[in-house]
Amino acid sequence: GAVVSQHPSRVICKSGTSVKIECRSLDFQATTMFWYRQFPKKSLMLMATSNEGSKATYEQGVEKDKFLINHASLTLSTLTVTSAHPEDSSFYICSAKRDYSYNEQFFGPGTRLTVL
Amino acid sequence: KQEVTQIPAALSVPEGENLVLNCSFTDSAIYNLQWFRQDPGKGLTSLLLIQSSQREQTSGRLNASLDKSSGRSTLYIAASQPGDSATYLCAPGGVYSGGGADGLTFGKGTHLIIQP
């Protein structure tokens, strides 16, 4: 149990386009999901906390208008990178916190975004 | 702001050895601490979760300890195998960082290579 999927696994896009990444908890409900970003040879950095049915909370320095998060159901959160630029190229990973599981987070396989 | 340091940054040993990976964190006001492994280009696999009230957790050949007051955790790997080769990440959770509670803060990891 506790499987999290992400789609797509890899995306290449032109500068200026928007990209949507989906994060799904497959076998459990998650009122809270998280979005992280990892640059090459760097630590994962928390971008935002996604709460089902309410607005996401963003970490300092993360532009909420650039990275749109929607958590429409207990099993799905989406991250949209709007007007992507080459500096947005990164590895985006989501996680989901299973309710009543002592705050343990389960991670998706990640999405590699390359902006040309 | 929580800061996480992992030592050593890299380690290469022959298989069969017992290993200790170290993690230190600056803010002891945490809810829990998770250890993960990350294979190249992949997402994170949760290895162990230690609650703030616990001292250690064990799973198979892995044992993790937590000394919350001193801001330290260690991951012990017994009888290492080539399949253990990966990057190991330590992540204390639950420190309010100005955005979302329960978000994890990651160290840069220990890159482990087990030689056959």
Q: Which residue of B31, B42, B101 is in closest CB contact with A110?
A: B42
What is the tens place of the pLDDT at every residue in A42-73? 889 999 998 888 889 899 899 999 999 998 88
Q: Return the pLDDT at B2.
A: 85
pLDDT reading at B31 higher than 50: yes
Arithmetic mean of pLDDT over chain B: 90
Please state which of the ranges A106-110, B58-62, B85-89 shows the lowest mean pLDDT.
Answer: A106-110
CB under 8 Å to B34, separation ≥6 — which residues?
A104, A105, B46, B47, B48, B49, B50, B90, B91, B93, B104
Q: Return the pLDDT at B104.
A: 86
B-facing residues of A in 53-112 (CB < 8 A) are 57-60, 62, 91, 93, 95, 97, 102-110, 112
Greater model confidence, A52 or A82:
A82
Q: Which of A103, A104, A114 to mutate to test the interface with B (most CBs of B within 10 A)?
A: A103
Q: Is A7 on the interface with B (CB under 8 A)?
A: no
Q: CA nearest A6: which of A81, A64, A93?
A: A93
With vertex at residue A101, the alpha carbon angle to CA A38 and CA A29, rounded to the nearest 5 degrees, is: 75
Q: Which residue of B4, B41, B51 is in closest CB contact with A102?
A: B51
Please state which of the ranges A36-40, B3-7, B59-63, B93-97 shows the lowest mean pLDDT.
Answer: B93-97
Residues of chain A contacting B32 with CB distance shorter than 8 Å:
102-104
Please state which of the ranges A89-93, A95-99, B98-102 shows the lowest mean pLDDT.
Answer: B98-102
Q: Which of A33, A37, A41, A43 to mutate to test the interface with B (most CBs of B within 10 A)?
A: A43
Please answer whether residues A35 and A47 qualify as being in contact, where contact means their C-beta atoms are separated by less than 8 angstroms. Answer: yes
